[in-house]
Structure 1
Amino acid sequence: MNGIDIMLPHYGDISYLKTAVRSIIAQDDTDWHLTVIDDSVTDNGLPDWFDALRDDRIDYQRNEANLGINANFQKCLDLAERDFLVVMGSDDAMLPNYVSTIRRTLQRYPDADVVQAGVEVIDSTGQVVRPLTDRVKRGIYAPDTTTPKLMGGEDLAISLLRGNWTYFPSLCWRRDALKDLGFRQGLSVVLDLALMLDLLQRGGQLAVVPDVCFQYRRHNASVSSSLASLGGRFTEERDFFVDVAAHLEGIGWHRAAKAARLHLSSRLHALLMLPGAVTSRQTASAKVLVRHAFGTTKPVRK
């Protein structure tokens, strides 16, 4: 393999972005290339900051107009040139062993199309934390990840539809496996799960290793948290699971279709957020959360 493309779509906090970039520069394996795609619309001084780094492994570019999450992520896929790529969050960080862990895993599992290595969760200050969301994700939905393994097929689809236990910004993908898939248009929150399911239906395989090498930041200012507080996340998820269930039935993955219709972890998430919406008097959001947690599987079309 000819190294890893680290694609970094940016639209948030500049200080977090700089932390992310520094963590990449600090890798103990130097066979990587970083492309930062700035989707912000204000003058943030980043061009000068990147110029001062004087590192020819780093390419910074700013979009002429704001593309939004989906289109900017797709641009990351389109610009990638190396055999494998990661679409990293601009508020996350790599531990020094990320690239070396991924490359070692791909040597062990040469047929893998995606790699999920070990992840630790950090808060807005960079402290390692164990939020309830992640304890549930790892304790209930994730398979045993204490030993390396290769997963795929309907069984993995069922596991992910019950509760998506992967951490998308840490996933490393085989570029050739994605080149004619891409992110489904219209999705902002579940675009990663959609991509994974599309890949699995083509026979793609996920390698899972326990080595911790990535820091995923969970804080209230994240895009997913903002959408969730407005109920938008759950409207998108509801429609997605309905569509996926119908499609999976059509290809004979009946057990996976059932898991999509139930989408238990998504319903539980909405239920846990309901008290906050009620307390803050977000009536519209509360209605969406109730409908998602207890309603039928009919889509909510805009």
Structure 2
Amino acid sequence: MTMIDIMLPYYGDVALMQAAVQSVRSQTDEGWRLTVVDDTAHPDVPGWFESLADERIRYFRNERNLGVTGNFTRCLDLAEYEVMSMLGTDDLLLPNYVSTVLAAYKDHPGVGMIQPGVTVIDEHGQPVKALADEVKRRLYAPKVTGRRLMDGEELAASLLRGNWLYFPAITWRTEAIKSVGFRADLRTTQDLALELELIERGEQMLIDSTVCFQYRRHLESVSSKMALDGDRFTEERGLYQVMAERMKAKGWPRAERAARMHSASRLHALTLLPTAVKGGQRDVARALAKHAFGNG
């Protein structure tokens, strides 16, 4: 019987983390193990896990703060089952998540990535239609009813036009994701870099439209935080430039063109430009304009 390692790199809000844990415990399929790697120093968290007395849950607290990349890497090191997922601290599994992804993997053994259906909720747990997600769904995500396998240039070009995946919802073949890992030099584009590396190595993605995951967006803080972080687009532009050359070397012209255009990333920067200008953030505004209208 195939089991899934659900890894939870934890930092942040205790209540949201507890809700995420309880969503795992509410799965209809018992083929899971949850591993929580705590990168905080909150005094009440270890005792809460001890009170659960659930043998299906492993809890580790880091002796020192590892940061996002370090904690993700430790989660990879601790994963042992054939497939795994990297649940976000504030996201939720619907009760059918494990049954959905394990059934998909059983029908497509060895697939590198499984992206199931996702709904988006706000900070209060209510369904929401955020602009970023509507753009993903309407402009960039493939239209899938049931299941669809994608790979190669088709998948790479699709993601380079606009990354429509939800990283915390993906189930990975553990051997595949461990073979690539997370890059310490990237802060905001680690997920896309990882996915593209796996595609270049020949891994396939299975898309399953069954909705079984709730992805949380904290709407009140998104615009302000993103507008204050013009550096993220410098990182994105660098990754797209590198990927354009790699796609060219691989003989994937559609993917190369998509990397050079990176239309979704440019559009994102453009939508944030008025906020930066209105807030008098000149350096950020220049960075956003360069990304939105530049040649690279």
TM-score, normalized by length of structure 1?
A: 0.93
Q: How does 1:1-302 map to 2 (within 5 A)?
A: 1-40=1-40, 42-220=41-219, 226=225, 229-297=228-296
Asked if 2 retains the 8 angstrom alpha-carbon contact of 1:219 and 1:225, the reply is no
Which whole-Å CA distance do the structure 2 matches of 1:207 and 1:190 have between them? 22
Asked if 2 retains the 8 angstrom alpha-carbon contact of 1:267 and 1:292, the reply is yes
**Count of aligned positions:** 296
Deviations 1:200-239 (A, max 9, x none): 1111001111110000001157799835532122121111
Asked if 2 retains the 8 angstrom alpha-carbon contact of 1:10 and 1:36, the reply is yes
* Regions of 4+ moved over 3 Å: 220-229
After TM superposition, give the deviation of residue 2 of structure 1 in Å.
3.1
Asked if 2 retains the 8 angstrom alpha-carbon contact of 1:9 and 1:76, the reply is yes
Which whole-Å CA distance do the structure 2 matches of 1:91 and 1:225 have between them? 19
Residue aligned with 1:230, SS: coil
After TM superposition, give the deviation of residue 173 of structure 1 in Å.
0.1
Asked if 2 retains the 8 angstrom alpha-carbon contact of 1:109 and 1:150, the reply is no
* Distance 1:262-1:226 versus aligned 2 partners, 3 A rule: same
After TM superposition, give the deviation of residue 86 of structure 1 in Å.
0.3
Which whole-Å CA distance do the structure 2 matches of 1:222 and 1:21 have between them? 24
* Distance 1:211-1:110 versus aligned 2 partners, 3 A rule: same
* Distance 1:78-1:59 versus aligned 2 partners, 3 A rule: same
* Distance 1:241-1:222 versus aligned 2 partners, 3 A rule: farther
Deviations 1:281-301 (A, max 9, x none): 22222121111111121xxxx
- Unmatched 5+ stretches in structure 1: 298-302
Between 18-27 and 276-285, report the one with greater CA deviation.
276-285
TM-score, normalized by length of structure 2?
A: 0.95
After TM superposition, give the deviation of residue 73 of structure 1 in Å.
1.3
Residue aligned with 1:179, SS: helix
Which whole-Å CA distance do the structure 2 matches of 1:77 and 1:226 have between them? 28
Asked if 1 retains the 8 angstrom alpha-carbon contact of 2:162 and 2:263, the reply is yes
* Distance 1:274-1:224 versus aligned 2 partners, 3 A rule: closer
Between 237-246 and 82-91, report the one with greater CA deviation.
237-246
Deviations 1:44-95 (A, max 9, x none): 4100111001001111112222222122112211210000000110010000
After TM superposition, give the deviation of residue 184 of structure 1 in Å.
2.1
Amino acid across the alignment from 2:13: D
Residue aligned with 2:145, SS: coil
Between 70-79 and 256-265, report the one with greater CA deviation.
70-79
Asked if 2 retains the 8 angstrom alpha-carbon contact of 1:224 and 1:233, the reply is no
Residue aligned with 1:180, SS: helix
Amino acid across the alignment from 1:33: R
Residue aligned with 1:278, SS: helix
Residue aligned with 2:27, SS: coil
